[in-house]
Structure 1
Amino acid sequence: MNTTIDTVPTDAAPPDTAPGATRRVSGAGWRIVARRDMAGHLHSVRFGILVGLVVLAGLAAVNAAAGSLRDATEAASSTPSAFLLIFTLSPDRIPSFVDFFSILGPLLGIAFGFDAIVGERSQRTLPRLVSQPIHRDDVIVGKFVAGLATISLVTVVVTAVVVAYGMWRVGRAPDGEELTRIVAVVLVSIVYVGLWLGVSVLASVLTRRAATAALATLALWLVFTLFFPLIAGVAADAVSPVDDNDPVTVVDNARTELRIRRLSPDQLYDEATGVLLNPEQQTTGIVVVRADSRSLPSILGLRESLVLAWWQLFALVALTIVTFVAASVLFLRQEIRA
């Protein structure tokens, strides 16, 4: 987002400061950048379009699941956390809300980050921005915080609308356990979209045009979202071929494909949210059911679900930090000319 930072007034200069000189603002510079950029995000056309798109997708998913939701509500005594089904049910060949968000969520991160630095550079406002009495790293930190705050606002608003609509269609409100799990899913969703924000900011630092940064991140999004499952399947067939007469090879092939697919942020997000939204799910891997299996299903608490998906959550957070740190280091090392 393109911004112009006004000179920040400071207190009286100390005796060892020359008259007329300005001091660098310690700790407040990134807040100024974040406040200006977030205001620009909220008043932009892209903000309204993306919010409307995600809200409509979420409402369509909940509306399509209305019949199944009523059945689940009637059987609530035997169905744990029935209200959470509004996020995971996908009848009538319409993806669930979580599936929609795993596809559309990255677009939020890309939209609010692809022109963070390159936009300033293309309009020749970057030299003036870094010449303000703030530290240079405050510029990229403020822009990332502005994008992340906007993403958080959008995610919370969209989830609230979907929950309210689900309450109206189902005729019941979520209980304390369900509400806590919904909050956990919202936090995971923010981290997931924040990862794509970091990727788009990194592309904005590396490229010289906003269109190039947008195309690069969109291409990466398409690869991981649409093509990576196909790539994982082909790679698994090459590494672990399937023998129709040997069931063990089928399991090995499925496990190999899953390991490869876990290189995609989309897969990590799906596994983490799947565990949080389904208390009966007790694994994120391949399940082999034996004919003589007599194990009884059990319900996991939120803490147990978080432990089950801890490494997926850790991977998403770590990747977000790595992309942002890489963007920051590269930006600080770049030469900026007037």
Structure 2
Amino acid sequence: MNTLMSSSENRHEQGAGRWHSPFWTMVGKEVADHLRSWRFIVLLVLIALTFWGTTAVAMGHLREVVTKAKDTGQLFLYLKLLTTTEGTLPPFHVFLNFLGPLLGIGLGFDAINSEQQNGTLARVMAQPVYRDNLLLSKFTSSLILVGVLLLSLALLMIGGGMVMTGILIEAEEVMRILGFTVLCTVYVGFWLALSILLSVVFRQPSTSALTAMGIWLFFTVFYRIVIELAVSAFAPDTRELAPSEAIRFNGIILSLLRLAPSQLFTDATTTLLMPSVRSLGPVTMEQMAGAVPSPLSLKDSLMVVWPQVSGLVAATVLCFALTYYLFMRREVRS
């Protein structure tokens, strides 16, 4: 009996020790610092106001949305609350394509260089902690805050929709909204990993912030313009190509556009939140022959967006691996 009691006590102490390890202590400290910072509060208010505005617009047109959905036999009411717009404000997922990078950059552009400038990095490294734990704690704490924020907004939207309409949410809608929340967290996580990488590369927080903003503006605004100019200058006229060659050429252009994280996020969110979207590329008439005009199942939608999600995850892992390599080679002095 004493042996059993001692073994259970040991397991309890080991489990408690995991949560009181240096890594989770640093995660808790970073979360507390973010919650007390004006930077996070401003970003939180900005995203919350954007969500409230787009949801209020969708709620104002709720009767029209329900009428059209009943006519087509496809309700998906709570998904339409995230995608309906009247033209004055874009839907929330379009806004998040713009604000998500700002959130990730704002949380990570001074993660390492500010610690080094303040002299706290050398004191932290003097403690019995690993360097990778420091990087992981910076990344994990910010990602936890982003995930909780987006999940809270999604739950508020579902609760408000239930109160106003009295319509119960379907299980597939719940899974799609949860998938949308995870996808948004992954998208913000990429920009967070990139900003932490720049905070390791550059000594000044202002330099890392400006570089991250420049990369974000290039991929959001100028990358598509560069691709369009290159296509108009060097590409042949698609009207003179055979249909198969034209489709292949358009597929190459789409592949180049999908090198931008914002395009990957747009494709994935559009497919998850709009079950009627069946393809993200050009489709021939032969491929459309015999297709039933019905929404895709959740499994089929996930299969469509799997390459986009894999691309975002791979880019995030690549940024974090490069950050780890550079930080491990850096000499930290007081």
TM-score by length of 2: 0.86
Whether 1:104 and 2:99 are equivalent positions in the alignment is yes
Identity %: 33
Instruction: Specify the alignment match of 1:188 in structure 2.
Output: 183
Quick one: distance in 2 between partners of 1:170 and 1:240?
Answer: 51
* Cα distance per residue 1:285-312 (max 9 Å; x no partner): 124558x956331222211111111111
Match status 1:46 vs 2:39: yes
Contact 1:236–1:256 (CA<8 Å) still a contact in 2?
no
- Select which of 123, 139, 155 maps to 1:144: 139
Which residue of 2 is the match for residue 81 of structure 1?
Answer: 76
1:215 aligns with 2:210: yes
CA-to-aligned-CA distance 1:112-170 (integer Å, 9 cap, x gap)? 11111011011122111111121222111111111111111222123233334444555
Cα separation, 1, equivalents of 2:204 and 2:57: 41
| Mapping 1:23-34, distance limit 5 Å | 28-34=21-27
Q: Which runs of 5+ in 1 are unaligned?
A: 1-24
1:73-111 Cα offsets, whole Å, 9 max, x none, are 124331242321121223224211110011101111111
For the residue of structure 2 that corresponds to 1:103, the secondary structure is: helix
Whole-angstrom distance in 2 between the partners of 1:68 and 1:293: 35
Cα 1:236–1:53 shift into 2, 3 Å: same
- Contact (CA 8 Å) 2:78, 2:158: kept in 1 or not? no
Aligned to 1:71: 64
The residue number in structure 2 matching 1:115 is 110
In structure 1, C-alpha distance between the alignment counterparts of 2:166 and 2:50, rounded to whole Å: 21
Distance 1:64 1:284 in 2: 27
For residues 192-203 of structure 1, what are the structure 2 equivalents within 5 Å? 192-203=187-198
Residues 229/51 of structure 1: CA separation in 2 closer, same or farther (3 Å cut)? same
How many residue pairs end up in the alignment? 314
Q: Deviations over 1:186-243 (max 9, x none)?
A: 0111111001100000000000011111111111111111222212222232343335
Match of residue 52, structure 2, among 52, 56, 59: 59
Partner of residue 314 from structure 1, selected from 306, 310, 316 = 310
Q: Secondary structure at the match of 1:112?
A: helix
Task: Name the CA distance, whole Å, in 2 between partners of 1:170 and 1:257.
Answer: 43
Task: Classify the secondary structure of the residue corresponding to 1:225.
Answer: helix
Structure 2, unaligned stretches of length 5 or more?
Answer: 1-17
Amino acid corresponding to residue 190 of structure 1 in structure 2:
T
**Residues 164 and 287 (structure 1), Cα distance of their counterparts in 2 relative to 1, 3 Å cut:** farther
Q: Shift of the alpha carbon at 1:26?
A: 12
Matched with 2:228 is: 233
Superposition RMSD in Å:
2.5
Q: What amino acid is aligned across from residue 123 of structure 1 in structure 2?
A: N
CA contact (8 A) 2:135 2:324 kept: yes
Q: Measure the CA separation in 2 of the matches of 1:145 and 1:129.
A: 17
Q: 1:166 to 1:224 in 2, by over 3 A?
A: farther
Partners of 2:39 and 2:157 in 1: how far apart? 21
The 8 Å contact of residues 240 and 252 in structure 1, kept in 2 or not, is answered as no
- The one of 320, 325, 330 aligned to 1:334: 330
| Higher mean displacement: 183-192 or 153-162 | 153-162
CA gap of 1:303–1:26, structure 2 versus 1, over 3 A, is closer
Task: Using structure 1 for the length normalisation, give the TM-score.
Answer: 0.85
* Native 8 Å contact 1:55 1:162 kept in 2: no
**Which amino acid in 2 is paired with 1:273?**
T
Within the candidate set 298, 303, 319, 1:302 is matched to 298
CA distance in 1 between counterparts of 2:237 and 2:84 reads 31
The 2-side partners of 1:269 and 1:314 are apart by: 11
Write the distance in 1 (CA, Å) between the matches of 2:161 and 2:224: 31
* Residue 13 (structure 2) aligns with: none
Please state whether the residue corresponding to 1:309 is helix, strand or coil: helix
Which residue matches 1:162? 157
**C-alpha distance 320-210 of structure 1, shift in aligned 2 (>3 A):** same
**Cα shift at 1:329:** 1.5
Measured in 2, the distance between the counterparts of 1:26 and 1:163 equals 32
Tell which deviates more after alignment, 95-104 or 238-247: 238-247
Report how far residue 253 of structure 1 moved: 5.6
2:319 maps to 323
Write the distance in 2 (CA, Å) between the matches of 1:86 and 1:43.
32
